[in-house]
Amino acid sequence: MSAPFLYRTWVVASIGLVPFFARSQTAKLREQGVSVRRAHEKLGHATQERQGSGPLIWLHAASVGESLSVLALITRMGLLLPKAQFLITSGTATSAKLVAQRMPPRTVHQFAPLDAPGPLKRFLRHWRPDAAIFVESELWPQMLRRTHASGAKMALVNARLSDKSVATWRKHPKLAAYLFDVFDLILTQNDAMAHNMVSMHAPSDRIARGINLKSMAGPLPVDEDALFEVRAALGHRPVWVASSTHEGEENAVLQAHQTLLKQFPDLCLILAPRHPERGDKVEELISDTGLTFTRRSRGEKPNAQVFLADTLGELGLWYAMTDIVFLGGSLLPIGGHNPFEVAQSGAAVLSGNHVSAFAETYGQLETEGAARIVADGDDLAQRIASLLSHPKQLAGMTNAAKRFVEAQDDQLDGIAARLLSVLGLKNG
């Protein structure tokens, strides 16, 4: 299949743009605390060596959610291929940090190379992947075609593109067909996405419905020492968590907590904004309500009405403290956030109704009785009050969450085995 005009145009343009993107991307990583040496991974300069004599399987994801979603898959594939090595690439400092905390055996992380000839040639020459698995919507044109040209077998898993992206691909059928042809297998999150892939000129005989890998990521890590300290500070106080909240949502959450305190005066709210760097602004909001508060980033203990959990990588700790979690990004048209992490902690899931990014998942969780949708802050307060007042009702939701997670687990073995078969992977 010959390269279409749009692809050839991008190759030429990328050569000229490399200096600009190299400066901006490495500078961004440096600002986030990444060393100069590691930041240069964006240019294809590896900072680790290819290890072992077995196959190397490369998995490429965009950022935090996508990177974490493949960790359980790597673990299962590693059990089936004891000699295999795994490479995860992503683009953000946050994803690198969180992946490092949960790295499966025989796995390394590198920052993904820029989509340009020089960086990609260096990257592929060093790592020589036997297979490449791309996650969700990470479809960089040259990365796909140059990896395919290297001889690596390729798969797209957890495929999920927005309606806007689907419409854009449909407008460029030659380019879409040229890029999707590299995949030996395309596993989508649901049937609707499978139909979309066909309409986007992906090879229909290589498309199948898979599972949402974010349901397989496993429970978030918990620092046991920190857990002991937080539990000691809270004592027997009831706790609820509002996590991954965005600007414009905290007011509703705080109003709900004020209402709840009238009925449950010892109740503690652990408020974990989606972006911890917003901590100062969220502190102002709490202060304006008159609620007492302490702040995690200052090393303070949760001994007030609100505990501002403005740190990175500790959601697992906060989820371990409660059976009730409100998941933000959902009271406003943001699209919602990953409810699997809450369900895997064994907590009941509460959410606003703006969950387009996880609509199917929320539908399943609601059907199972593990999740409830709330309309606003008042509705949120009523729902939490009902759960706190009726322990059997709360236990029903938490048990449903555990059953939902257990039901997903068996499917992962099938996905791992199918990928290994299609990608022709075996120890050697």
pLDDT in tens, 80-95: 999 999 999 999 998 8
Q: In the chain, how many domains are there?
A: 2
Same domain, residue pair 234 and 320: yes
Neighbour order of strands in the sheet with 239-245: 293-295, 306-308, 268-273, 239-245, 324-327, 348-351, 371-373
Shared domain check, 286 and 327: yes
Q: Are residues 213 and 232 in the same domain?
A: no
Q: Are residues 203 and 66 in the same domain?
A: yes
What pLDDT shows up at residue 261?
98
How far apart CA 117 and CA 122 sit, in angstroms, is: 9
Shared-domain flag, residues 90 and 196: yes
In a domain, 197, yes or no: yes
The answer to whether the CB of 113 falls within 8 A of the CB of 43 is yes
Query: Could you tell me if residue 43 is inside a domain?
Result: no
Show the tokens assigned to 292.
Answer: 């007492």
Do residues 83 and 131 share a domain? yes
- What integer pLDDT is reported at residue 101 of this predicted model? 83
Residue 32 lies in a domain: no
Q: Is residue 403 part of a domain?
A: no
> Is 398 contained in some domain?
no
Distance in angstroms (rounded) separating the CA atoms of residues 115 and 140? 6
Residue 264 belongs to a domain with what CATH number?
3.40.50.2000
Q: Would you state the pLDDT for residue 358? A: 83
Please list the pLDDT of the chain residue by residue as tens digits (428 residues): 789 999 999 999 999 999 999 999 999 999 999 999 999 999 999 999 998 889 999 999 887 777 777 888 899 899 999 999 999 999 999 888 888 888 899 999 999 999 999 999 999 999 999 999 999 887 899 999 999 999 999 999 988 888 888 999 999 999 999 999 999 999 998 888 899 999 999 999 999 987 777 766 667 889 999 999 999 999 999 999 999 999 999 999 999 999 999 999 999 999 999 999 999 999 999 999 999 999 999 999 999 999 999 998 899 999 999 999 999 999 999 999 989 889 999 999 999 999 987 888 899 899 999 999 999 999 999 999 999 999 999 999 999 999 988 877 777 888 899 999 999 997 55
Residue range of the domain that includes 340: 224-389
55 and 184 inside one domain: yes
Helix spans in 181-319 (H): 191-199, 224-234, 250-263, 279-289, 315-319
Active site residue 314: no
Looking at residue 360, what is its pLDDT? 80
pLDDT (0 to 100) of residue 216: 66
Instruction: Give me 410's structure tokens.
Output: 């068996």
pLDDT for res 427: 58
* DSSP 8-state secondary structure symbol assigned to residue 302: S
Is 42 inside any structural domain?
no
What is residue 288's predicted lDDT score, i.e. its pLDDT? 97
Three-state DSSP at 153 gives strand
Domain assignment present for 6: no
Options 66, 249, 283, 314, the catalytic residue: 66
Give the separation between CA 186 and CA 146, rounded to whole angstroms: 18
Residue 61 and residue 201 in one domain: yes
In a domain, 362, yes or no: yes
| pLDDT at residue 218, rounded to an integer | 67
Whether residue 216 contacts residue 408, with contact meaning beta carbons closer than 8 Å, is answered with: yes
Same domain, residue pair 241 and 335: yes
Do 74 and 204 fall within a single domain?
A: yes
Task: Identify whether residues 185 and 327 lie together within a single domain.
Answer: no
Domain of 126: which CATH number? Answer: 3.40.50.11720
Single out the residue of 282, 347, 295, 343 nearest to residue 321, CA to CA. Answer: 347
Give me the helices (H) in 171-219, please.
173-180, 191-199
What is the model's pTM?
Answer: 0.75
Instruction: Assess whether 170 and 244 both reside in one domain.
Output: no
